[in-house]
Chains A and B, each alone.
Chain A
């Protein structure tokens, strides 16, 4: 709520239950007494927790029990709860004059007089009424303080408001004279008497003397004693003759007139004087006022500036204080940090598993870690002793000299030492540097390197071992770094390539042996090698000018270490020139042998068939049977010869597939139909034929199938059928050949696809083959990215299946059509 009201804080009763009182720059215009009165009033006016806002250079003064400063700079004060009720002076409401303040000059002494005072006054009056003339004591304001004697003739109370002002209650005849005298007294400050003042009192006419005596100053201020002396009293009229009475009346009227005139004249003079006096007094008072006012103004300004200065000083003091507080806080924090650091250090030292000895410049032990006791028998008791006096359990020739050297040169020193129990340590001596970078002794640490040392010894031994292996190796071995520089090579390498270690180590591979390695074939081989982490059987064939043609088989292994500078490429070479030559010879021989075998087979077969045809009409059954057998065996012979050739080309890695897309079920049908023609004992059944495109070597896959079907017929002599079944999945096509024959023992099932598999007796009885067919079949299927499997129960039959991927994208096809 906001109410606008005019209030004089000096006079009007205060408001109450205010939340906020702002009184800015008012108090500075009031004197301390007034301030003392106002501030408790503010306190009264505020509700508990109410706030008081004062001007910048104002304050609550001594009333700190009433207000607390919330903000010293902004001068916000909050009300303090107090039991004390503020003491208010009685309010005197006067319209024209400002209320005179209590304690300064009490305005109504009589009113406020205590009972004791009054009785004292009465006593005095009783004592003195007959003796002393009528007199009155007034203050400078003309307020009556005391009355003595009979004053009834001189005082007259006017009707209206009661007053004790002498000038207002003294009889009119006396007023002018009294004022004149009073002015004189106030001016001159000594007693003045005014004589023969006419005064009419009823019928009586009397003359009065007025004496005004300034009294000595009291605590209550200046006072004046005014004494009235009456001289004569003449009656206005008396019992006389009528004439006399008339004459007297005339005389009297004349006299009265003259008297009146005189009196009026006097009064006029007096008024003039008074007026002049008053003007003078006013002028001087004015001047005085002006100068006083100026003085007040200037002193006020001075006070203000002083106040401002004080404020500034106070602010400075405050900031200094704050700085001091901050510095103090920092110091405290530093202290806490130091404490933490200290306890950290103590903990680190006491928990350290590393023996640490700190010695001073004179080699006296200053500090040791507890662990030193165990490893080098130095305890806390040795602190203060010189380290050179103590016999250490480590073998170290001149510790003292080494420490002094370190202190002198400031260079850390380390050495591997061994103790009595053959434990290895690294002994470090480092200069002890104080925080202000002064050398104050040394720190000796012993780091247990026993395991490292042992593993180092182990490593050295294994290195010797490895070097031994390399030395005895027959194959040339060379270690290259990333940049193909030779790091090392073995003896066989130097022998094989006729090189010397001096010219080889550190040189690049291509610069070896008068650049004879710098050939495209070596570059090609190496670029292939570098793409592999691990590779074996990489062949390269190179004509070395100094050595001759060499065919090398290279195995590579790249050692990648964390440090790229330690990366190594290991190349082991095998001179396969002779082997290669032999192999080639062998291949030629195989091919020749196969050819040579087939040529006579052709002759025999043809002749036998001619004979068969020739004797077809002959009834000689035996002849026909024998001829038939002859033809079969010749076919078999031819097959063995071609199997040999196939195996030898597989071995030499020369198996070439002629791949093309073809319809798989057509091939199956063709093979089954052809096979059916060759057997009269078995019926070959086909199931699950569906048109599917397969990418591969049609002829060879056909041969695999022929092989499986002929095997199925061969090993099921007592059965009547063979089932060929096709199965499709999304990715591949599976064909299985199922017979109902003798089966294969479990233990042999995994071996039957090996080329070295020796056929069991049971199989041998029924077969004259070498068992190469399944081996060749498995190679062909695998080369197509497929797989061949067998499931068999002995005595019940076998199922051979192979799966081929429907789509192209197998890993093996190296020689597929472009």
Chain B
């Protein structure tokens, strides 16, 4: 599959292990995964709009919820589905509050991840 046809997924997590595993899981399914330690700003997306953003809540210097809110606030980025990710209980609530489309509680099953990703792409 050419890179252009592949669905683009942005994964943001400050934990390199998780980042690596998710990237591995999704790439093995044929997604175009861009994994970053932190969100590089809304401007970084402009030229390369992802089909789905998987966002950890507690990042090193950022709050995933703020990022989600910012993304949902812009017209052009509001349509990008956002899945919030956290190991803290109550992630479901946090996600709803921040206006995210869905959530994933760590640890999650591979199948759950894949089902969720395929749902939004």
Chain A residues proximal to chain B, CB less than 8 Å: 591, 594-595, 598-603, 605-607, 609-610, 613-614, 634-635, 638, 642, 645
Contact = CB atoms under 8 A, between A and B. Distances in A.
A612 to B, nearest CB: 8
A645 B105 CA distance: 15
B106 to A, nearest CB: 4
B89 interface: yes
Given A610-B24, A642-B89, A599 B106 contact: yes
Interface in B30-56: none
B110 interface: yes
Nearest to B107: A602
B110 A598 contact: no
A606 B87 contact: no
B20 interface: yes
Summarize A's interface: helix, strand, loop or mixed.
Answer: helix
B83 to A, nearest CB: 14
Nearest to B56: A599
A602 B108 contact: yes
A610 B24 CA distance: 8
Given A600-B17, A602-B17, A606-B18, 7 more contacts: A598-B106, A599-B15, A602-B106, A603-B18, A603-B20, A605-B108, A610-B21
Interface string B80-106: 000000011100000000000000001
Contacts of A603: 15, 17-18, 20-21
Contact of A609 (B15, B17, B89, B110): B110
B28 interface: yes
B105 to A, nearest CB: 9
Count chain A CB atoms within 10 A of each CB in B21, B22, B25, B111 and give the residue with the most.
B21
Given A600-B17, A603-B21, A595 B110 contact: no
Nearest to A631: B109
Nearest to B19: A603
Contacts of B21: 602-603, 606-607, 610
Contacts of B25: 606, 609-610
A759 to B, nearest CB: 25
Interface residues of B, number: 20
Interface of B: 15, 17-18, 20-22, 24-25, 28, 58, 87-89, 106-111, 113
Contacts of B18: 599, 602-603, 606
Contacts of B24: 606-607, 610
Nearest to A606: B21
Nearest to A609: B110
Contacts of A614: 28
Contacts of B108: 602, 605-606
Contact of A634 (B28, B87, B89, B107): B107
Nearest to B13: A599
Nearest to A642: B89
Nearest to B22: A606
A610 B17 contact: no
Contact of B107 (A591, A598, A613): A598
A598 B18 CA distance: 10
Nearest to B110: A609
Contacts of B89: 642, 645
A8 B58 CA distance: 146
A224 to B, nearest CB: 164
Nearest to A646: B89
B87 A602 contact: yes
7 contacts: A595-B58, A598-B107, A599-B106, A602-B21, A602-B87, A602-B107, A610-B21
A746 B111 CA distance: 43
Nearest to B17: A603
Nearest to A699: B92
A606 B113 contact: yes
A635 B107 contact: yes
B110 A610 contact: yes
A644 to B, nearest CB: 11
A602 B89 CA distance: 14
B91 to A, nearest CB: 11
List the 6 shortest-distance A-B pairs measured between CB atoms, nearest first.
A609-B110, A603-B17, A606-B21, A598-B87, A602-B107, A602-B106
Residue from B28, B89, B108, B111 whose CB has the most chain A CB atoms within 10 Å: B89
B107 A638 contact: yes
Nearest to A595: B87
Contacts of A594: 87
Contacts of B113: 606
Contacts of A613: 28, 110
A209 to B, nearest CB: 179
Nearest to A608: B110
From A591, A603, A607, A609, residue with most partner B Cβ within 10 Å: A603
Contacts of B106: 598-599, 601-602, 638
B109 A609 contact: yes
A572 to B, nearest CB: 37
Contacts of B20: 603
A579 B82 CA distance: 41
Nearest to B58: A595
Contact of B28 (A605, A610, A642, A645): A610
Nearest to B104: A602
A302 B21 CA distance: 153
Residue picked from B15, B25, B87, B113, most chain A C-beta under 10 Å: B87
Contacts of A634: 107
A567 B17 CA distance: 66
Contacts of A642: 89
Contacts of A601: 106-107
A599 B18 CA distance: 7
A613 B111 CA distance: 10
Most A CB contacts (10 A, CB to CB) among B18, B106, B111 go to B106
B38 to A, nearest CB: 16
Contacts of B107: 598, 601-602, 605-606, 634-635, 638
Contacts of A609: 25, 109-111
A599 B17 contact: yes
B17 A591 contact: no
Q: Pick the most buried of B15, B87, B88, B107: most chain A CB atoms within 10 A of its CB.
A: B107
